[in-house]
Structure 1
Amino acid sequence: MATGIYERHARACRSHSGGRCNCEPSYEAKVGGREDRQSRTFPTYTAAAAWQREVQALKREGKVTSRQTVQEAWEAWIAGARAGTIRTRSGDAYKPAAVRSYEASMRLRVLPEFGHRTLATVTREQLQQFVDLLVEGHAPTTVECTMLPLRRMYHRALTRGQVQVNPTAGLELPRARGGRDRIASPKEAAKLLAALEVGDRVIWAAAMYAGLRRGELRALRGRCVDLANGVIRVEKGWDAIEGEIETKGHNKRRVPIPTVLRDYLTEHKARNDYAPEALVFGEAGRPFRGETLLTRAYTRWKDAGLDRITLHECRHTYASLMIAAGTNAKALSTYMGHASVAFTYDRYGHLMPGNEDQAASLLDAYLERETTAV
């Protein structure tokens, strides 16, 4: 019998007492040493030997699969994401909020089901069944967010040779229905701001007329608001747990201050006289509380009979206003802090002018200028 293949008999088999075997023995094949040992049991010696040869060949090629469990692999992955050694596809560190979201999804739904399994034994079919069960009691976005960290973990395992197949590839996930794409018109934006408490207007105006994200608004410091030159320097973001963090994508940027926003910021500065290192929109030295701000705003808008808007939808409104004003995609991408112009086109391309008639008219006008020039 080949080395590493062992004949296993039933407990009641006579062979244990020196007699003739009266059971159907199985065959356990083992490969590797103490640190990387793999074993598997088969009903026949031939099957055990074939598996052993296959694993040994994979091992020689550096493709042997890992004995690591999903739980162990996840703990290693999330520790790396937390430390910044495991990064996003664009090379950025994972945001603290994203790490917490991943941890919650895995802890609540994935690990109870698959945590004890080794990475290589989880199949696509099993994961698809898991997804189908999730769909019955969860929203499509919840299902997608549940599978995302698992997909990230398996992608890393595949690139490191820990598994030969990524079982999360090709899963059929439910499509989330598009939510409302709330964008305020110029007149509506003015009405929404006018209905707010005086002290809250400047925060919403900075979101509406400069496109700052909530975390960027919370982290904005006095030295970053240059009223003399009409520029806001966006340098930091704010996380609810970690505090001050890098901006999304580590993209520091300069955003122009339009006159309508300058008026709000000038009034706010005169009323608060914050120091260069102080938070512009701080409350007792701490960033404003987003939930409290929303509650006050929603109450005011309801009383005024206005359709409410979120801070992030104010950012969409900013993009819409800038496009309507004629800002080109490259400049808008910079002001919004997007990773690329392509993302700006994907997100806001439907708002940008450029139908066939207009394109033809622009070309006609250009050709006429060039061909008639003396």
Structure 2
Amino acid sequence: MARAWVYDRSGTKKYEAAVAKAKTTGRKPPSRWEVMYYDQSGSLRTEVARNKRTAEARCSDLEVSLSSGSYVDPVEGKVSFSTVAERWIDSRHDLKPQTWWKYRALLDNHVNERWGDQPLVKIDHEEISTWVARLLKSKDEGGSGLGASQARHCYRVLAMVLEWCVPKRLPRNPARGVKLPIRPESEHVYLSYEQIERLASASAGLVTKYKVPTAGAAINRALILLLAYTGMRWGEAAALRIGKVDLKNRRIRVVSTFTEINGVQCEGLPKNGKPRTVPIPASLVPVLREVVGNRGDDQLVFRTARKQSLRANNWRVREFNAAVKAAGLGDLGLTPHKLRHTAASLAIAAGADVKVLQQMLGHATAAMTLDIYGHLFPDRLDEVATKLDRNRTKALRRSARDDAA
């Protein structure tokens, strides 16, 4: 027995009565065509079609979806996007708090603003493409004035919510394949050894307007040198405990990081969720030993003069920016995070391969490392060709000797 079929309602008393009533009230008569089918639970379902062609097309689609198991109950797809988005964000207990709040803000400020009241089945690929383009337009042009990166983040949240609806509410994700804006290449800053030392020295001599050392003057030099020569993220260095610093073996175990959520400092796992070990250059050992002293393993390596943890914005504005200016590096657009790029460039110049650099920086994959720093690796094509030629020449000589013997 067919699971779906087209039913012509003309000629039935109920349909004729409905047509007659529509005519007397001046309304459009009801459609004579229905699609009838048994859903996956065996229940008989009906859908009204505008005409016979539409009914036959819908009947064919139902036959395929019911046979393949991809059938979606039309009622499920009529739920508004915001309703499903709330359920999705509440289910994301796997996210770090800062990521959860980031998604929350994107939903509230951009995604739900456009799609919140829209039924899921009414969201299509073309509309999503138009929306992404509008995010990039200035507010004067009726857009949101977002940069490429922020627009991509908005799209990603929309796409994740829609993907969560497949296959229960949607047969496929309409956001798949949308062309996204190209993220502009960030302006990396690569300091030289001399510039690093100048910056570190300037940070150690900072004073307030009252001519007393700043809150971070005692630890600034060690912190900047650590960031520039190990590639640790600022939050990882700020959360570093003395017990995770092995000066004898010149290793640091990165197990946590500081982030700020709604003005509250939180400690959690590193960015990719995995601890890692980074090497300490031998010349930094005495610098770190002076900061560590004889304090307990559970204490923070870097803290203010009042023995408080460092706060990202305070340290950057009051300590780092002042040191950059004092060191005469103010025209480089330098930030604490860009010291990480410096560490990568110095490691590559020192001969580190991509896997070593990946481990050092804590990237999830080597591909990510190459995407960011691949242009810094030297072109070794000539080197490879030279070695191949040398080995081939040796092989030819051996063959010649064997033939002569």
Q: TM-score when scaled to structure 2?
A: 0.75
Q: For the Cα contact (< 8 Å) 1:220–1:236, is it kept in 2? A: yes
Residue of structure 2 equivalent to 1:71: 82
Residue of structure 2 equivalent to 1:15: 21
Question: What whole-Å deviation, never above 9, does each CA across 1:318-351 have from its counterpart, x for those lacking one?
Answer: 1111111112222222122122223323322221
Residue of structure 2 equivalent to 1:108: 109
Which one-letter code corresponds to 2:312 in the other structure? Answer: G
Gapped runs of 5+ residues in structure 1? 85-93
How far is 1:285 from its partner? 6.0
CA-atom RMSD in angstroms: 3.6
How far is 1:163 from its partner? 1.6
2:381 matches 1:356: yes
2:65 matches 1:58: yes
2:229 matches 1:222: no
2:343 matches 1:318: yes
Tell me how far apart the structure 1 counterparts of residues 269 and 16 of structure 2 sit (CA, whole Å). 59
How far is 1:309 from its partner? 2.1
Q: For the Cα contact (< 8 Å) 1:253–1:337, is it kept in 2? A: yes
2:175 matches 1:168: yes
> What is the DSSP-based 3-state SS (H/G/I as helix, E as strand, rest coil) of the residue aligned with 1:354?
coil
Question: What whole-Å deviation, never above 9, does each CA across 1:198-227 have from its counterpart, x for those lacking one?
Answer: 421222222111111122112211100011
How far is 1:122 from its partner? 0.4
Residue of structure 2 equivalent to 1:339: 364
Gapped runs of 5+ residues in structure 2? 1-5, 139-144, 205-216, 399-405
Residue of structure 2 equivalent to 1:91: none
Q: For the Cα contact (< 8 Å) 1:70–1:116, is it kept in 2? A: yes
Larger radius of gyration: 2
> What is the DSSP-based 3-state SS (H/G/I as helix, E as strand, rest coil) of the residue aligned with 2:257?
strand
> What is the DSSP-based 3-state SS (H/G/I as helix, E as strand, rest coil) of the residue aligned with 1:309?
coil
Tell me how far apart the structure 2 counterparts of residues 326 and 147 of structure 1 sit (CA, whole Å). 39
Residue of structure 2 equivalent to 1:88: none
> What is the DSSP-based 3-state SS (H/G/I as helix, E as strand, rest coil) of the residue aligned with 1:163?
coil
Residue of structure 2 equivalent to 1:246: 269
Kindly tell me: are residues 184 and 4 of structure 1, through their superposed partners in 2, closer, same or farther at Cα, counting changes over 3 Å? farther
Which one-letter code corresponds to 1:76 in the other structure? Answer: R
Question: What whole-Å deviation, never above 9, does each CA across 1:22-60 have from its counterpart, x for those lacking one?
Answer: 543134879879xx9998665447645764674476356
How far is 1:362 from its partner? 4.3
Kindly tell me: are residues 8 and 360 of structure 1, through their superposed partners in 2, closer, same or farther at Cα, counting changes over 3 Å? farther
Which one-letter code corresponds to 1:195 in the other structure? Answer: A
Which one-letter code corresponds to 1:183 in the other structure? Answer: Y
> What is the DSSP-based 3-state SS (H/G/I as helix, E as strand, rest coil) of the residue aligned with 1:196?
helix
Which one-letter code corresponds to 1:207 in the other structure? Answer: L
Kindly tell me: are residues 173 and 250 of structure 1, through their superposed partners in 2, closer, same or farther at Cα, counting changes over 3 Å? closer
Q: Which moved more, 1:60-69 or 1:44-53?
A: 44-53
Kindly tell me: are residues 280 and 7 of structure 1, through their superposed partners in 2, closer, same or farther at Cα, counting changes over 3 Å? farther
Q: For the Cα contact (< 8 Å) 1:278–1:285, is it kept in 2? A: no
Q: For the Cα contact (< 8 Å) 1:69–1:116, is it kept in 2? A: yes
Question: What whole-Å deviation, never above 9, does each CA across 1:3-28 have from its counterpart, x for those lacking one?
Answer: 99996999xx8627xx8675431348
Residue of structure 2 equivalent to 1:258: 281
> What is the DSSP-based 3-state SS (H/G/I as helix, E as strand, rest coil) of the residue aligned with 2:232?
coil
State percent identity of aligned pairs: 26
How far is 1:240 from its partner? 1.6
Which one-letter code corresponds to 1:267 in the other structure? Answer: E
How far is 1:359 from its partner? 2.8
2:218 matches 1:210: no
Q: For the Cα contact (< 8 Å) 2:257–2:267, is it kept in 1? A: yes
2:296 matches 1:275: yes
> What is the DSSP-based 3-state SS (H/G/I as helix, E as strand, rest coil) of the residue aligned with 1:232?
strand
Residue of structure 2 equivalent to 1:330: 355
| Partner residue of 1:180 out of 187, 198, 213 | 187
Tell me how far apart the structure 1 counterparts of residues 16 and 196 of structure 2 sit (CA, whole Å). 77
Q: Which moved more, 1:43-52 or 1:249-258?
A: 43-52
2:163 matches 1:155: yes
Tell me how far apart the structure 1 counterparts of residues 224 and 308 of structure 2 sit (CA, whole Å). 18
Q: For the Cα contact (< 8 Å) 1:301–1:308, is it kept in 2? A: no
Which one-letter code corresponds to 2:221 in the other structure? Answer: R
Kindly tell me: are residues 342 and 140 of structure 1, through their superposed partners in 2, closer, same or farther at Cα, counting changes over 3 Å? closer
| Partner residue of 1:24 out of 4, 25, 28 | 28
Tell me how far apart the structure 1 counterparts of residues 367 and 395 of structure 2 sit (CA, whole Å). 31
Residue of structure 2 equivalent to 1:231: 251
Q: For the Cα contact (< 8 Å) 1:222–1:276, is it kept in 2? A: yes
> What is the DSSP-based 3-state SS (H/G/I as helix, E as strand, rest coil) of the residue aligned with 1:311?
coil
Which one-letter code corresponds to 2:123 in the other structure? Answer: V
Q: For the Cα contact (< 8 Å) 2:203–2:320, is it kept in 1? A: yes
Which one-letter code corresponds to 1:194 in the other structure? Answer: S
2:340 matches 1:309: no
Tell me how far apart the structure 2 counterparts of residues 192 and 101 of structure 1 sit (CA, whole Å). 33
Kindly tell me: are residues 323 and 47 of structure 1, through their superposed partners in 2, closer, same or farther at Cα, counting changes over 3 Å? closer
> What is the DSSP-based 3-state SS (H/G/I as helix, E as strand, rest coil) of the residue aligned with 1:223?
helix
Kindly tell me: are residues 47 and 217 of structure 1, through their superposed partners in 2, closer, same or farther at Cα, counting changes over 3 Å? same
Tell me how far apart the structure 1 counterparts of residues 179 and 104 of structure 2 sit (CA, whole Å). 23
Residue of structure 2 equivalent to 1:297: 320
Q: TM-score when scaled to structure 1?
A: 0.81
User: How many residue pairs were aligned?
Assistant: 355
